[in-house]
Amino acid sequence: MNTNASPLHRRVGSLVLVAVIVLSILGFFAGIRHSPSSDGLLLQTHTESSSPAGEKDLENRTEPTSGNQDSSVSTDVLDTASAVGPRPSPEYSQMRQMETGPTRRWDVSIEKVHTVYDYQRCITCHDPHTLRVGPNQQDKLMSLAERAERRAFNGAPPVIPHAVERLDDASCIACHDEGVRVGELIANRMSHRVLANCVQCHAPPTPNPFRDEDIAVASSFVGLPAPTQAARAFAGAPPVVPHSTWMREKCLSCHGGWNGWPGLEVTHRWRTQCL
């Protein structure tokens, strides 16, 4: 038995397929050429520019200010212009005083920006020339002296300066992973990666029954003096690191902003490759 389709059926199938392809191509180009959004925009722009009210409104919006007049454009004016139709592009001198876009009604406040570190804020790179970091020598010496009080010698791990209620790592990481401020106290960020068993190196405070006891052990060991400043290859060159970087991979632990040490801040906290 011959199961092949007849020539007539094959011809009809080919014609239907060709017709579908042709209609698809025509519909594609017709949709590109006759876009409802573009036609409506052109019609609205033409109507606004051709009407006397539109020309008057356009002149009022594009008229430059002179003298001591404020060149800022209020939010209400922008909303009204958006409702009337497309507004002309502002001049460069007006952009700094204008608030546009979907967030123009947002009350700008840097305290409302949720960040992990303060150097991630926009004003760190886009400097408004009002928050320049200027470490002073007095704060620096006070911070170095406070750091030395918590260490047996320079380079030793610091002791824990507060009561330890839990000995698990989670209680330490909760504050010292990224650093937090609690009132006037600052929990500095860890200077090294997260390690298990923090109290193995960082000794907790002496228990109450032994705080008044003098249990110092005689020793002739003397640690190296802590550096107070770093040398530079030439004037204007970046300073060399005056201390070891072992267990101090996170430089912002001391040299960061609010979660660092006063007097040891750097002016470029957004940079990531210190070495």
Question: Could you tell me which of 267, 164, 152 has the C-alpha nearest to residue 176?
Answer: 164
Compute the CA torsion angle 275, 224, 198, 185 (nearest 10 deg): -80
pTM, entire model: 0.49
Q: What is the predicted pLDDT for the residue at 62?
A: 45
pLDDT at 202: 93
pLDDT tens-place string over residues 131-159:
566 678 899 999 999 999 999 888 899 99
| 119/269 Cα distance (integer angstroms) | 6
The arithmetic mean of pLDDT across residues 245-249, rounded, is: 91
**Amino acid, single-letter form, for residue 263:** G
- The region that residue 67 occupies, defined by phi over 0 for left and psi between -120 and 50 for alpha, beta otherwise, is left
For the chain, which residues make up each domain, given as ranges?
Answer: 108-207+236-275
Query: pLDDT value at position 75?
Result: 54
Closest CA to 195 of 151, 117, 250: 250
Could you please report the per-residue DSSP string of 50-61? HSHHHHHHHHHH
pLDDT at 110 exceeding the cut of 70: no
Q: What is the dihedral of CA 63, 69, 75, 79, to 10 degrees?
A: -20
Whether residue 119 has pLDDT greater than 70: no
Mean of per-residue pLDDT scores for the chain:
74
- pLDDT tier, 125 (very low <50, low <70, confident <90, very high otherwise): low
Q: Express each pLDDT in 66-92 by its tens digit.
A: 444 444 445 555 555 555 566 677 777
CA distances from 249 to 72, 187, 232 (A): 47, 18, 21
Beta bridge partners of 185: 182
Predicted confidence (pLDDT) per residue in 16-60, tens digit: 899 999 999 988 888 776 544 444 444 444 444 444 444 444 444
